[in-house]
Amino acid sequence: MPKQLSMNRLCMRPARVLLLVALFLLIIAHGSALAVTFPIPSLELNVTTATEPEEVAVVLEIIALLTVITLAPAILILMTPFTRLIVVFHFLRQAIGIQSSPPNQVIVGLALFMTFFIIKPVALDVYNNALNPYLERNISYETAFEEAQKPIRKFLLLNTREKDIALFVKEADMKKPETRADISLLVLIPAYVISELKTAFIIGFVLYIPFLVIDMVVASVLLAMGMMMLPPVMISLPFKLMLFVLVDGWHLICGSLIKSFGV
């Protein structure tokens, strides 16, 4: 009999558990029904017919802003000093012989903020003469676009070689521009890019020379001492770092790069 009673109790336990779970769910449901309901905001997107010109202008501004945000990486790389800066910093790291220090994030971040610093006068000129008057409805879109091109064109022409411009003018089969204002941005931008690459490679070559001399001196000393199995890079790297720190290399390179743009 005791065994039978214990078996009955064991069989009744799952039923009690299910009953308690059901009672708990009923309590929660009853409490949630009595609780205060919070309104959930809804989002609706409607396409309606514009009744005023201002509504069309706002839509066009939003489309233009989205387009600029999409093309922002290309604009940053191709029309700013970013290209020269990032290439020079890469050559510097290769010349010293350290592959992962400073990290890529530091190099890109430094080049990015130096780009903002160098391009600040041009950006302020565009804002004061083109963007701000257009947002205040003082000038039209065409006038704002023309005014915005002037400081950008001046900056690009200041750092672009004439033979690079002539190359793209010839390849585009265009009439030779009589003045600088007649040069199209479609010609000026690629000419500026290859000019920046050439300048960056020249600076990179100049940076390589002192570190190459250290490598050659260290290799010659090790060869004279008969230590041919010892990698020269292992010995020359501390001397390169010491030379770079003693001459305050980052200060010299960053200052020279800023002055090289002539802004």
Assess if residue 204 is contained within a domain: yes
CA angle 176, 180, 183 (to 5 degrees): 55
Mean pLDDT calculated for residue range 24-30: 47
> What are the φ and ψ backbone dihedral angles of 45, each rounded to 5 degrees?
-115, 115
Domain presence at residue 205: yes
Q: Among 8-22, 40-54, 104-118, 218-232, which is the least confidently predicted range? A: 8-22
How far apart CA 220 and CA 51 sit, in angstroms, is: 82
Give just the sign of the alpha carbon dihedral 117, 122, 124, 127: negative
Higher pLDDT, 100 or 46: 100
Lowest average pLDDT, out of 45-49, 111-115, 252-256, goes to: 45-49
List Cα–Cα distances, 238 to 118, 211, 234, in angstroms: 33, 11, 8
Would you say residue 87 has pLDDT above 80? yes
- Distance CA(83)–CA(201), nearest Å, equals 11
| Residue 263 resides in a domain | yes
Residue 201: the pLDDT is 92
Assess if residue 195 is contained within a domain. Answer: yes
Domain count, the chain: 1
Do residues 184 and 197 make contact, with C-beta atoms less than 8 angstroms apart? Answer: no
Residue 95 lies in a domain: no
Worst-scoring range by mean pLDDT, 83-87, 95-99, 133-137, 230-234?
Answer: 230-234
Structural domain harbouring 213: 159-263
120 is written with which tokens?
A: 């600040």
In this predicted structure, what is the pLDDT of residue 12?
47
Tens-place pLDDT, residues 205-248: 998 888 888 888 888 887 777 777 777 777 778 888 888 888 88
Contact criterion met (CB below 8 Å) for 198 and 86: no
In a domain, 237, yes or no: yes
> Tens of pLDDT along 124-182?
888 888 878 877 778 777 788 788 888 888 888 888 888 888 888 888 777 777 777 77
pLDDT tens profile 31-77: 444 444 445 555 455 555 556 555 556 667 677 777 777 777 777 77
The mean predicted confidence, pLDDT, of the chain is: 75
Confirm whether 43 is domain-assigned.
no
Q: Is residue 5 part of a domain?
A: no
